[in-house]
């Protein structure tokens, strides 16, 4: 049935293409919005959706994690499962703690490079051989059919913050511009873009900054004028195709294997960027970086967490705060409110202060009219949120990203002190265009590493003549192993810790990349790579300024389960503790050093056995569950039967590996839902008009009872040496 559906979709896409071609040939004037409305009912499946207000559900990544070692022998440590596994307690208090696999691929013809291009954006494409279901779908009682290639890869860019009307206005403005007679950069070359620094800027305190200091507001106004005034003039038309307010990306790239070459030549074939587009961006990128001031902002101080709120995201942020406090975190949390309409007085002034949290209004930090004129939307809010937060050391968290161990220790770690920025990996290889490096004026050099192995001497994996022959370097060496490029792997931006004073210029550059992202820098950085969006902008900016950052080496894992389109999907990205990861990294490097000394001239570099096998679930510690699919919207989960399987049998959404961290996150979140939605009846704007009676009746009682009983059984039969089975155990 799944194959039939896929073939039908491919046929319909082909018909759609012929229709559009006919329209072009006959020179009919059909607008973008009209065309999409006409065909949307044909190509879009009618499905239950867990996002409200027309937003698509936020789904998972493609392919198995590179570093899976399911047959790894694991020792079972002693652990205490007592406190979080008891029966649910509606009066549960969350109090604020008191302070005190192979070697690099050989040279081969680029035409023989593996095809990892998938068409469409609905997440049900044909899967790569060997990466489909891990269960026998012929026996419906043998267990759920696991879909490794779920639609998050295609729809990660379908950000729920996107304002469809704003995006339409932006597209209309671009369409109305006369670009045929315009020369790249002509409107900006003769202007003075200097940002004037008020001598009082260094004297602004954090308190004054939060209250809307005119000095800092003037500084950011000049900065936004610099960025907006140098916006691109030749946007990519293929990124102007929209559906439900989201960018349609026809060809999604999935590269997950460490032995795939992805040379400069390979990466130069994924997308075609017009010459005027590249020339225009090159001029404007230089103007922006030449005028970003080199200052250290004294108005940032202290350390804390930053979450974008507003609407339903204020509720999600509140759950993250509850989880942080449950785990013992004592650092302040700032919830960034995108607009005046999103501000909830009761939430900001009455609820948050109880948990040492506060609201920060973007329109207090930045000029509200200017933000409206720029039409800020989507991922851009995360970049603005970091700048609007008062913290010097800011831990940016998505509002659906829950810690399972206390992250506070990262702020005072030697690792963070040395690197000043910590990021987490995504599942995929980099597919950045060589044109991106041309735009920013970076000349790529020789090979200096292999993927994320920065220590091993490149002589152990070089190909013949790569240092002497430019063609060999361009065609046979992985582009992101070369000096000047952004290192592998891609970044998952649901969490990031950063020193904003040290990386201030990079954050300003990242804002530029994001404000010109959808039609420019996002496709340059990813070229339709899975999850195209803001996620590469922060590391790209820090890389431009040669600023260090540490990216976790342990690849993320997936927790299941959830049914959509009649199929079984993962719900959460599991990210790991950087401190434990750094310990494993040092052991990996020591092991490589010893192997070289032992083997001498016969040493053969094998990335999988020598490097990636050093980062396993059994020697790593989960730190975050990024619950991108179901989020924790009790009303949608109840209405759309998100907590049951296809036979209406209860299932766990976050898998069954919680004993590994001694914290049943799923059970805790539902306890918080019962407490604040049903018992204390907190007044969130998002709750208005929602069916609380149904959620707070038998549904919540049955849900908590099931989580108690299933939690007990999972603990009783837990086998720590079967991590990937545990992550798919749902009852």
Please count the other Cβ atoms lying within 10 Å of the Cβ belonging to residue 491.
Answer: 23
Q: Is 503 within 8 Å of 219 (Cβ atoms)?
A: no
Q: Which two tokens stand for residue 622?
A: 């989960």
- Torsion sign, CA atoms 296, 297, 302, 307: negative
Q: Is 719 within 8 Å of 726 (Cβ atoms)?
A: yes
How far is it, in rounded angstroms, from Cα 119 to Cα 126?
9
Q: Which two tokens stand for residue 8?
A: 């039908």
Q: Which two tokens stand for residue 344?
A: 């909830």
Q: Is 387 within 8 Å of 365 (Cβ atoms)?
A: yes
For 169, phi then psi, to 5°, come to -65, -40
SS (HEC) of 470-496: HHHHHHHCEHHHECCCCCCCCEEEEEE
The overall longest dimension of the chain from CA atoms, in Å, is 75
For residue 32, give the H/E element and its range: helix 32-43
Q: Is 548 within 8 Å of 449 (Cβ atoms)?
A: no
pLDDT below 50 — which residues of the chain? 1-115, 117-159
Closest of 643, 634, 642 to residue 691, by C-alpha? 634
Q: What are the pLDDT digits (tens) for 423-433?
A: 999 999 999 99
Query: At CA 523, angle to CA 519 and CA 524, rounded to 5?
Result: 110
Q: Is 558 within 8 Å of 727 (Cβ atoms)?
A: yes
How far is it, in rounded angstroms, from Cα 386 to Cα 336?
9
Q: What's this model's pTM, rounded to 2 decimal places?
A: 0.80
What's the pLDDT score for residue 209? 96
Closest of 300, 5, 250 to residue 147, by C-alpha? 5
Q: What one-character DSSP code corresponds to residue 405?
A: S
Q: Please write down the long-range contacts of 406-411, taking CB distance under 8 Å and 24 or more positions apart.
A: 406/324, 406/327, 406/328, 406/329, 407/324, 407/329, 407/497, 407/623, 407/624, 408/328, 408/329, 408/330, 408/331, 409/579, 410/497, 410/578, 410/579, 411/303, 411/331, 411/497
401-403 sheet: strands from edge to edge: 401-403, 622-626, 567-576, 557-564
Q: Is 486 left (phi over 0), alpha (psi -120 to 50) or beta?
A: beta
User: Where does 457-555 have alpha helices with state H?
Assistant: 470-476, 504-515, 522-526, 537-544
Domain ranges of the chain: 2-43
Q: Report helix, strand or coil for 641.
A: coil
Per-residue exposure over 694-725, b if at least 16 CB sit within 10 Å of its own CB, e if not: ebbeebbeebbebbbebbeebeeebebeebbe
What's the pLDDT score for residue 169? 60
What's the pLDDT score for residue 57? 31
Q: Is 302 left (phi over 0), alpha (psi -120 to 50) or beta?
A: left
Closest of 624, 631, 635 to residue 694, by C-alpha? 635
How far is it, in rounded angstroms, from Cα 308 to Cα 338?
8
Cα-Cα-Cα-Cα torsion 138, 140, 144, 147, nearest 10 degrees, comes to 30
Q: Which two tokens stand for residue 412?
A: 């005072």
Tokens 């899967």, located at residue: 127
Pairing of strands 557-564, 117-119: unpaired
What's the pLDDT score for residue 475? 97
Q: Please write down the long-range contacts of 244-247, taking CB distance under 8 Å and 24 or more positions apart.
A: 244/54, 244/55, 244/56, 244/158, 244/164, 245/54, 245/55, 245/162, 245/163, 245/164, 245/167, 246/56, 246/155, 246/157, 246/158, 246/162, 247/157, 247/158, 247/518, 247/532
Q: Which residues contact 330 (CB under 8 A, 6 or more apart)?
A: 96, 97, 98, 99, 356, 408
């Amino acid at each position: 049935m799944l194959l039939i559906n896929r073939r039908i979709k491919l046929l319909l896409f082909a018909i759609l293409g012929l229709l559009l071609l006919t329209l072009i040939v006959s020179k009919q004037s059909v607008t973008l919005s009209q065309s999409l409305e006409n065909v949307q009912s044909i190509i879009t499946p009618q499905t239950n959706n867990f996002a409200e207000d027309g937003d698509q559900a936020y789904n998972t990544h493609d392919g198995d994690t590179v570093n899976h070692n399911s047959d790894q022998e694991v020792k079972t440590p002693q652990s205490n499962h007592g406190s979080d596994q008891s029966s649910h307690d509606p009066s549960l208090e969350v109090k604020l703690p008191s302070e005190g696999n192979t070697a690099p691929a050989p040279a081969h013809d680029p035409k023989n490079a593996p095809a990892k291009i998938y068409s469409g954006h609905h997440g049900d494409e044909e899967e790569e051989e060997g990466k489909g279901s891990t269960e026998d779908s012929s026996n419906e009682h043998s267990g759920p059919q696991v879909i490794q290639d779920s639609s998050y890869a295609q729809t990660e860019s379908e950000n729920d913050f996107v304002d469809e009307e704003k995006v339409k206005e932006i597209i209309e403005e671009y369409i109305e511009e006369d670009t045929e007679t315009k020369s790249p950069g002509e409107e900006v070359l003769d202007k003075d873009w200097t940002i004037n620094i008020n001598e009082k800027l260094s004297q602004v305190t954090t308190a004054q900054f939060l209250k809307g200091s005119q000095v800092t507001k003037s500084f950011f106004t000049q900065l936004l004028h610099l960025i907006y005034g140098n916006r691109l003039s030749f946007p990519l038309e293929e990124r102007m195709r929209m559906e439900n307010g989201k960018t349609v990306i026809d060809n999604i790239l999935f590269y997950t294997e460490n032995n795939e070459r992805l040379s400069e030549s390979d990466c130069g074939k994924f997308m075609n960027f017009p010459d005027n587009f590249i020339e225009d961006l090159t001029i404007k990128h230089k103007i922006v970086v030449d005028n970003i001031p080199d200052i250290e902002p004294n108005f940032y101080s202290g350390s804390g967490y930053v979450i974008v709120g507003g609407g339903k995201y204020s509720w999600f942020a509140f759950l993250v705060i509850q989880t942080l406090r449950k785990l013992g975190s004592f650092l302040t949390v700032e919830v960034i409110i995108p607009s005046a309409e999103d501000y909830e007085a009761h939430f900001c002034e009455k609820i948050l202060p109880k948990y040492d949290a506060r609201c920060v209004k973007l329109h207090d930090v930045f000029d509200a009219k200017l933000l409206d004129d720029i039409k800020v939307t989507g991922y851009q809010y995360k970049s603005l949120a970091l700048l609007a937060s008062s913290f010097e050391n800011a831990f940016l968290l998505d509002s659906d990203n829950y810690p399972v161990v206390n992250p506070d220790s990262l702020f005072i770690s030697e690792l963070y002190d040395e690197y000043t920025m910590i990021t987490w990996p995504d599942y995929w290889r980099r597919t950045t265009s060589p044109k991106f490096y041309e735009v920013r004026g970076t000349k790529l050099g020789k090979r200096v590493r292999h993927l994320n192995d920065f220590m091993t001497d490149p002589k152990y994996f070089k190909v013949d003549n790569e240092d002497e022959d430019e063609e060999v370097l361009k065609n046979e060496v992985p582009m992101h192993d070369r000096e000047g490029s952004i290192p592998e792997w891609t970044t998952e931006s649901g969490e990031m810790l950063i020193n904003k004073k040290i990386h201030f210029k990079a954050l300003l550059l990242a804002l530029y990349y994001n404000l010109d992202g959808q039609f420019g820098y996002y496709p340059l950085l990813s070229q339709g790579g899975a999850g195209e969006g803001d996620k590469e902008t922060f590391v790209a900016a820090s890389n431009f300024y040669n600023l260090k950052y540490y990216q976790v080496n342990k690849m993320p894992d997936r927790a299941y389960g959830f049914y959509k389109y009649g199929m079984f999907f993962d719900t959460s990205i599991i990210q790991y503790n950087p401190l434990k990861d750094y310990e494993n990294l040092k052991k990996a490097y020591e092991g490589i050093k010893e192997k070289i000394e032992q083997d001498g001239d016969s040493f053969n570099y094998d990335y999988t056995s020598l490097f990636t096998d050093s980062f396993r679930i059994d020697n790593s510690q989960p730190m975050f569950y990024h619950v991108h699919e179901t989020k924790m919207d009790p009303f949608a989960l109840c209405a759309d039967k998100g907590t049951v399987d296809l036979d209406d049998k209860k299932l766990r959404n976050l898998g069954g590996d919680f004993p590994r961290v001694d914290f049943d996150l799923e059970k805790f979140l539902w306890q918080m839902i019962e407490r604040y939605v049903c018992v204390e009846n907190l007044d969130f704007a998002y709750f208005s008009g929602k069916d609380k009676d149904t959620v707070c009746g038998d549904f919540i009682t049955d849900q908590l009872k099931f989580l108690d009983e299933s939690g007990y059984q999972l603990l009783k039969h837990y086998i720590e040496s079967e991590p990937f089975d545990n992550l798919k155990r749902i009852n």
